Every structure is written in C-alpha cells, then in structure tokens.
Homo-oligomer: A and B are copies of this chain.
Amino acid sequence: MITASIITIGDELLIGQVIDTNSAFIAQSLNSIGIPVTRRVAVGDNWDEIWKALEYESSINRLILITGGLGPTADDITKPLLCKYFNGKMVMNEDALQNVIHLFEKRFNRPVTERNRKQAEVPDTCKVLLNTNGTAPGMWFEKNNSIFISLPGVPFEMQSLIREKVTPMLVQKFSLPTIIHKTLITFGVGESMLADLIQDFETSLPNHIKLAYLPNHGIVRLRLSCIDNENCNAEAEINNKFTELQELVAEYLIATDDEPLEKIVASLLKNNQQTLSTAESCTGGYIAHLLSSNAGASSFYNGSIISYSNKCKEDMLFVNQNTLVTHGAVSKATVIEMTKGVLQQLHTDYAIAVSGIMGPDGGSTDKPVGTVWIAVGNKKNIQTNLFHLRFDRSKNIQLTAMYALNMLRQFIIEQSIP
C-alpha cells in the first residue's frame, strides 16, 4: 500500500500567524483515492529544516506532498532547494511562462516583471503541473522509488492542482485500494456517555474496522473506517456495522452523512419547499453566514435581521419596548417576539431567533455570560429553550448557532408528522 506524508513549508505556520487548512484538504483528497496519510509535518522557510524533512519523510513514506514556499519573494526557498535536492538545474518552462504572461495580461491587467517571469523557471528534473490559477507551477519529482509533489501554498491554487492534476495522475500510476469511511452525527450527548452506550459494539468490531469519536460544538461524530485492500467484502461489512451503530445511538442521531448541521437543515427545507428567516442578536450574523455559505441557499433562505441594538429589535422586529424593559433583551419573551417579527417581516415558513450574552463582558448576577435564549417556530407554534454556555465568545457564538439549527431541525421534523 502507498502511504503519504504532507510537508507544509512557511515560517508563518511556526509562529501561528496562519492556520494550516491545506493539510486537511490534501489529506482528504489522498484518502479519497486510497492513499492514507500517516504524517503531516510543518517546517519553516529554512534550508536545513526543509532538507531534513524531505529525507526523513521519504524514509518513512513513498509519497511526499509538499506545499508552500514557492512565491516570488526572497523568503521562498522551496524551489531552489528542490532543484538542488533532485540534482537539477533551473530552466524556463515555456508553458508555465505563457501561463504567467496570460495571467498578468488578461486577469491582473498589470505588466509582467522579471520577477514574475522567473516564476516559470523550474528544475529540469521535474514534471511540471501547470497552475492556471497562479504563477507558481506544481512540480512532480521521483527519486529512489519515492514521489515528491510540490504545490503552491495558496489554498485555491493548491486545491485546483490536487483535483485536476495530482489525484488523477496518482490514480493512473498506482493500483490503489478503497478506503471506506462511514460517519454519523449525534447531538446532545457527551463523548464518554456515548462510549458507555456503544461499549459492547466497540469491543465486537473486527480489527480492520476502526471506530473514532470526533467531538465538536455539542456534536459528536462517530466514524467507522476500513481499508479494502484485501479484496474482501469490506463495504457490506462496514455497512452492517454502521446500521448496528445507528440503532444504538438512535436517540441522539441527527444524520448518517458527514454533513454540517446547516446542510442538514437546508436539505429538510428544500425537500419540503419551505423557507426560513433568522433574527439574530448575539450571534451577529453567524447563523445567516452558515446558512448562506452553501450554493443554492436562495431557494429556502430569504434573509435575516441582525438586531444588535435594542432599537433595531423594536423598529425592525416589532419587539415591544415594554418587553425589553420588563424582561430584558435576553429573555424568553424577547426571542418569542423576535421570531414573530421576523416571520412577519420576511414572510417565511420558519424562523429562528437568538438573544444572549456571549462575553467576555455584559454578564450580570441574574444573567451571567453564556446565558442564551433561542426560539424556533412558525406562524402556529413557537418553541423556546434557555442555555447556559461556559466558553469564550467565539465558541459561545458557534455553539449557539449549532443549538439553534438543531432546535429548528427537530421542530421541522415534528411539524411534518401528521
């Protein structure tokens, strides 16, 4: 079996100035074609560190994916290093040069400088993977039966190259096994309670099927994995185990695909041809952002009123001034009126309303930081819930969004039962 290491290059990764999202994308893509990733390494823009990483990772794995350090500036040393590592000399690649000229003339509307032209130079020991989205070409090297693929660190450029060049070429070159992952999603149950619930199931799993717990924001995903390299009946076997698992966690099960909660809600609404609006105070547009981040949102999502101020709650959502004075902005009465207001204003079948104190300031003895009221409803019926969150602002916002979306999911399902 072919296994892989991912090496990401850049000082910014080691001082924590950027979060490495490239590795996750590459790992996902390689897994999907049957190449497990066993190690991911990040090193700085440092000649010795990069060199050592290439040597060490290629002593462990046959495929080495490298991103970063291919920019036009002096801190980017990956290309000259690879040239030396693979005993090559730099040559101008005509296709890459035409691509650079095309990008500058047609897309950026700027003259091509010498520095830009140099981006089209590559070691003569590599196969070029043309990058039509940027100036740094991908490069494919082979040495001692190992394959090294170097890609630009700009996520958009790297992703296109992985999709259009790297994975098709790897699939063509090797006879790869199938890796099967089946993931289900639970909500409202802790990792340890879940583990107790499925203890016997877990013990009964054969060695080649692995179970993983992935907790995040009130959700625990359970994943079964199996590599089908024995040509045995892995798919049927994992499907049986997956069905068994679903039955065991039925009470908490919210999905049997590895989908974000906002997509699950979107599917429910689209299938019912129903619409949704949101009235957000404390989440400040985060629920709206989640709902609209997937294509096709306009078919069910009319919009949102982000009522950060009390005046906005009164003017735009028709919350009674008296309600705000008597019960406060963070109250059951307020989120009910917000729900009614946004249903009326945006003419939708369903609505979500949230109001809470996300921190770090704004708490009181009565209503400490983390107090959140959520309402979901339609014209006939509104349900509310009070939550006490205990995290930082960012996590409190994310959790509130998850709780709200799950309340709506349950509400829609209940409404659909005749």
Binding site for B on A (CB under 8 A): 11-21, 23-29, 31, 36-46, 49, 53, 56, 71-75, 107-108, 110, 113, 115-116, 119, 133, 135, 154-156, 159, 181, 183, 190-196, 202, 210-216, 221, 223, 225, 258, 278, 280, 283-289, 291-298, 301-309, 311-312, 315-316, 345-347, 359-361, 390-395, 397
Contact = CB atoms under 8 A, between A and B. Distances in A.
Contacts of A28: 15-17
A133 B315 CA distance: 40
Contact of A306 (B15, B223, B304): B304
B306 A288 contact: yes
Identical subunits present: 2
A309 B316 contact: no
B284 A156 contact: no
Contact of A195 (B53, B73, B308): B73
A306 B308 contact: no
A285 B295 contact: no
A302 B309 contact: yes
A61 B40 CA distance: 17
A305 B135 CA distance: 39
Contacts of A108: 190
B18 A24 contact: yes
Contacts of A191: 71-73
Contacts of A190: 108, 110
Nearest to A36: B14
A324 to B, nearest CB: 14
A395 B192 contact: no
Given A56-B56, A306-B305, A347-B311, A14 B27 contact: yes
Contact of A45 (B107, B212, B302, B347): B212
Interface residues of A: mostly helix, strand, loop or mixed?
A: mixed
Given A18-B214, A107-B390, A115 B26 contact: no
Of A11, A110, A181, A221, most buried by chain B (CB within 10 Å of CB) is: A11
Given A37-B14, A212-B11, A312-B346, A72 B295 contact: no
A73 B192 contact: yes
A379 B20 CA distance: 42
Given A49-B38, A289-B284, A17 B214 contact: yes
A342 to B, nearest CB: 10
A71 to B, nearest CB: 6
Given A27-B15, A41-B40, A113-B196, A292 B308 contact: yes
The 5 closest A-B pairs by CB, nearest first: A284-B292, A285-B288, A16-B28, A285-B285, A16-B27
A156 B395 contact: yes
13 contacts: A11-B210, A11-B212, A16-B25, A17-B28, A73-B213, A113-B192, A284-B291, A284-B301, A295-B359, A302-B308, A302-B312, A304-B304, A304-B306
B39 A43 contact: yes
A244 to B, nearest CB: 17
Contacts of A225: 11, 15
